[in-house]
Amino acid sequence: MNTTAQTYTISLHEGFFARRNTVDWIFAVFAVAAGGYALATYAAHMDIYEKAILALSVPAAIWLGWFWRPLRALIAGVAIVSVLAAMAYQGDLQRAESVFWLKYFLSSQSAILWMSLLFFMSTAFYWVGMLATRAVGFDRLGTGFAWAAVTMALVGTMVRWVESHLMGPDIGHIPVSNLYEVFVLFSWMTAAFYLYFEDRYQTRALGAFAMLIVSAAVGFLLWYTLAREQHEIQPLVPALQSWWMKVHVPANFVGYGTFALAAMVAFAYLIKQQAGETKWYKLAPLWLLGTALCLEPLVFRRGAEAGGSFWSVYFGVSSLIVGGILLARRRIASRLPALDVLDDVMYKAIAVGFAFFTVATVLGALWAAEAWGGYWSWDPKETWALIVWLNYAAWLHLRLVKGLRGATSAWWALVGLAVTTFAFLGVNMFLSGLHSYGSL
């Protein structure tokens, strides 16, 4: 009785704030100061809603830094570098061509190109670490390059935001308005969620799989930049000139990113489960699904000769990667975490994504009511968003109520990636509607 009371008293004293250390409080002061600086510097460019979002972002950043402490360095580093880059412009966009650090590192385009290179390097080092016969730290390099890539992605995003305002008072906007910008968002957000799970479960083996989907997104981003030249900042169309965009789009891409991460974890799960399988016809469904997912980008050639050879090479390399993973499945399986760990990561990724996707759908309905006078119009994008939501709602329901586990849930998560990809990109390409902003 006394022991129980003593334990209860200790637990009261060890509350959330009591567990904060000096660095936590220094970070909190830094976040408040940074928020104050942003408000003082850019208040003239903000409406009341944007000021409210900034005010809420400060405690959110503090909580995130306290919840997962590696984010403290990331947030502080991105804020400092972004401010230095903005100051280097001195109000003149032309300085991006004459100032060394802007031209080669800190302009938005340079930072995003560095992000792309760093993500490719991260993927390569994760796979070298996975397949190496001796542990020589290559996977640690993969982690380091992933953190560096996330940092450069965020710096590029923040600087692009500043650049848009320098182009004109009516052009400035948060860079989440077209396919180029949201692919940057998808890349760093997916990588950041993976890095959290890597730290939480103390395993780097999943990085090889998680970074494949990030590298695929970066591949699309580079094609979209080089073949389509869609990286230039453009004024917002009237329907996007709303503060709803600032909350709806990021929430949506938490869902997209975590659903994609769950699919790659599902792929790893099936590889580990079938590591001892010797009959190729039993492995064929996995290879076919992996190849089908690689085949999806080939539809980007629709209506455009530019980049056709790029996507042919992309498909060929991706198919070889899938085949190589199956050939090396025994070695890979020996490095992967236990099946129950993989299953748990898959579940948590989908649970987080579903929560944010639900919020994004509600926010989208409110935005639609303001922009078009109705909450729901059965627009193709809305319809496919509902299909994605129902898919993962059913997955979570069967898991929580019927105990869905194992290969069935993994296959479902992989198929879910194909459905989500079509909702994200296919609708823009093949179906016209009110959401047809990011055409290919």
Amino acid letter for position 289: L
Taking a C-beta distance cutoff of 8 angstroms, is the pair 418, 271 a contact? no
CA separation for the pair 402, 396 (Å, rounded)? 10
Task: Tell me which DSSP letter residue 240 carries.
Answer: G
CA separation for the pair 182, 310 (Å, rounded)? 21
Range scoring the smallest mean pLDDT among 1-5, 339-343, 421-425: 1-5
**pLDDT tens, position by position, 171-194:** 888 899 888 999 999 999 999 999
Joined together, the tokens standing for residue 247 give 């909350």
Domains of the chain, residue spans: 237-440
CA separation for the pair 251, 55 (Å, rounded)? 18
Q: What angle do CA 214, 121, 106 make, to 5 degrees?
A: 85
Range scoring the smallest mean pLDDT among 2-11, 148-157, 320-329, 395-404: 2-11
Residue 66's pLDDT band, with cuts at 50, 70 and 90, is very high
**pLDDT tens, position by position, 42-52:** 888 888 888 89
379 alpha-carbon distance from chain centroid: 25
CA separation for the pair 219, 166 (Å, rounded)? 29
CA separation for the pair 93, 113 (Å, rounded)? 18
Q: How is the chain split among helix, strand and coil, in percent rounded to 5?
A: 80, 0, 20
Joined together, the tokens standing for residue 285 give 């469904």
* Residue 86: Cβ within 10 Å count: 20
For the chain, first and last CA: distance in Å? 68
Joined together, the tokens standing for residue 17 give 């704030």
**pLDDT tens, position by position, 257-310:** 999 999 999 999 999 988 877 666 666 666 666 666 665 555 545 544 445 576
Joined together, the tokens standing for residue 420 give 């989500």
Q: For the full predicted model, state whether its pTM sits above 0.75.
A: yes
User: What average pLDDT does the structure give for the chain?
Assistant: 86
Residues 6+ apart with CB under 8 A from 170: 235
Q: Is the pLDDT of residue 10 over 50?
A: no
